[in-house]
Structure 1
Amino acid sequence: MSNQTATISADEQKMLRSIFFRSFTVFAPFNYAKQGGSGFCYAMMPFINKYYDKKEDRIAALERHITWYNATSNVGTFIMGLAASMEKENSEKEDFDASSINTVKASLMGPFSGIGDTLFWGVLRVVAAGIAMTFGEQGNPLAPIIFLLVYNIPSLITRWSLTKFGFSVGAKYIEELYASGMISVLTKAASILGLIMIGGMTASNVSFQSSLKFNLGGGQELVIQEVLDQIFVGIIPLLFTLLCFWLLSKKKMNFALLIALVVALGIVLSLVGIA
């Protein structure tokens, strides 16, 4: 770690500390449209203001990072550090593919969230609670403090280490990938992984079960949901997701209005017995 961070200048160390502290507020401005996108953008602002002199370049960078973002905060600082290093490369190279920044971000959210949720929410939090409860059962007033220390000390160390690691690794290896021409391959692979993650989220979070049945006589029924599943399992959630995406991207529909319409549609379908 020391060899990697030795190349980070004092000014960059200061900006990385800013990312570290701002990462605690990444989900403070949470909204369903962008999740932690606004907080991520806020964390990146010191680097954006440092690396870009032109107003239009700063605006473009801010627009890149205010898009949808969701990763476990304990480990998400690696993505922030990596994005910062890519912004540095983009500011220095005119032919750098700026779209690769968001592509790489999207590809890392799923894996890092899986690791972070498992280690910090599934393991460390439970261990910290178990230790604290042992002291609590004995009437020790330090039990809640012990819980906070056991959980937060590893979390803070990981958060800061990954902030520096993401920036130093990015600065080192992105330069090599760029020189060898492999950056386009990385971008393509990251794009595919990001699409797989989005597809998995769609399948997990968007559901539709039709309750429509038609009596065909002779004790036979036509169950609409079974017909839909024979065509393509999850075809309605997929088409509905694509419709929402089309309304947001092509028709520029307001996100709050879209949510209201989705809720209203769900109520209507339920009342008429379709779903």
Structure 2
Amino acid sequence: MQGSGYLYHILPQLRKMYGDGTEELKTAMKAHSQFFNTSNFLNTIVTGIDLAIEEKEGIDGIDTVSGIKAGLMGPFAAIGDSIFGALIPTIFGALAANMAIQGNPVGIFIWIAAQLAVIVFRWKQLEFAYKEGVSLVTTMQHRLTALTDAATLMGVFMVGALVATMINVKIAWAPSLGDVTLNIQNNLDMILPRLFPAAIVGCVYWLLGRKNMTATRAIFIVLFVCIALSALGVISK
């Protein structure tokens, strides 16, 4: 999936190491065009290790590089997606959105600063991995699982916090039974505060698991259902 892109961005270095039109270059290009798929936020670590090995061992290290790429792309995909694809956008996006709701323009600068920090991190990790080389693999190998679990747990925690703080939907419908008015929202709050927003998130999660369902379709379904129920007086903000 990312094999051709990976080859494209290291090709200038391969040409410097092996020369143009050489058999070594052709062998390296063929090896690097093989299947490779990992997080775009951590792929430069693999690139740095790759270049360090090939610069030291030449074409003889191509099998080592292929093994490292195959071994790291899975864990890095999980870690990168958890931290940079979910955790950081969730935390800083929530801060920025909450400030925007309150009319505070500082939120946008927090979001921009977070994205700039990610860009700098991606650049610096290439330099770091290149200097450390293959020793970096053995150093961090035993930490990958723990880091993945921690990032996943933090992401789930932040999603739960966002459900409780950012989804402000209440049941406005209060049916009357004789002289008694049944306040459904109060009864739900007595069972579990913010239960209704959690139920909405659960329904969306269930929708996303259906066949041919996409995030865009789920958003429009939620939008139309909320507009309809709000117009009927069933829900309110």
* TM-score, normalised relative to structure 1: 0.49
Q: Distance in 1 between matches of 2:147 and 2:114?
A: 29
What does 1:162-241 align with in structure 2 at a 5 Å threshold? 162-169=121-128, 172=132, 175-178=138-141, 181-216=142-177, 220-241=180-201
Secondary structure (helix, strand or coil) at the match of 2:169 reads coil
- The alignment covers a number of residue pairs equal to 181
Deviations 1:192-220 (A, max 9, x none): 112222333333443321112133556x5
Secondary structure (helix, strand or coil) at the match of 1:253 reads coil
What does 1:241-256 align with in structure 2 at a 5 Å threshold? 241-256=201-216
What does 1:14-29 align with in structure 2 at a 5 Å threshold? none
Q: Which has the larger radius of gyration?
A: 2
Is 2:48–2:127's contact at 8 Å kept on the other side of the alignment?
no
Q: Distance in 1 between matches of 2:71 and 2:208?
A: 30
Is 2:46–2:72's contact at 8 Å kept on the other side of the alignment?
no
Unpaired runs of at least 5, structure 1 = 1-10, 16-48, 66-78, 127-151
Unpaired runs of at least 5, structure 2 = 1-8, 14-28, 50-64, 100-104
Give me the CA root mean square deviation.
4.5
Deviation at 1:168, TM superposition (A): 3.9
Secondary structure (helix, strand or coil) at the match of 1:188 reads helix
Q: Distance in 2 between matches of 1:114 and 1:256?
A: 22
Deviation at 1:184, TM superposition (A): 1.3
Is 1:207–1:237's contact at 8 Å kept on the other side of the alignment?
yes
Is 1:104–1:190's contact at 8 Å kept on the other side of the alignment?
no
CA 259–98 in structure 1, closer or farther in 2 if over 3 Å, else same:
same
Q: Distance in 1 between matches of 2:128 and 2:178?
A: 68
- Give yes or no for the alignment of 1:122 onto 2:102: no
Q: Distance in 2 between matches of 1:123 and 1:271?
A: 32
CA 50–212 in structure 1, closer or farther in 2 if over 3 Å, else same:
farther
Partner AA of 1:122 in structure 2: V
Deviation at 1:176, TM superposition (A): 1.0
- Give yes or no for the alignment of 1:53 onto 2:47: no
CA 50–168 in structure 1, closer or farther in 2 if over 3 Å, else same:
farther
Is 2:48–2:129's contact at 8 Å kept on the other side of the alignment?
no
Partner AA of 1:103 in structure 2: I
CA 156–272 in structure 1, closer or farther in 2 if over 3 Å, else same:
closer
Deviation at 1:97, TM superposition (A): 6.3
Is 1:107–1:197's contact at 8 Å kept on the other side of the alignment?
no
* TM-score, normalised relative to structure 2: 0.56
Percent of residue pairs identical? 17
Is 2:172–2:185's contact at 8 Å kept on the other side of the alignment?
yes
Q: Distance in 1 between matches of 2:124 and 2:30?
A: 20
Is 1:103–1:187's contact at 8 Å kept on the other side of the alignment?
yes
Is 1:51–1:88's contact at 8 Å kept on the other side of the alignment?
no
- Give yes or no for the alignment of 1:107 onto 2:107: no
Partner AA of 2:33 in structure 1: D
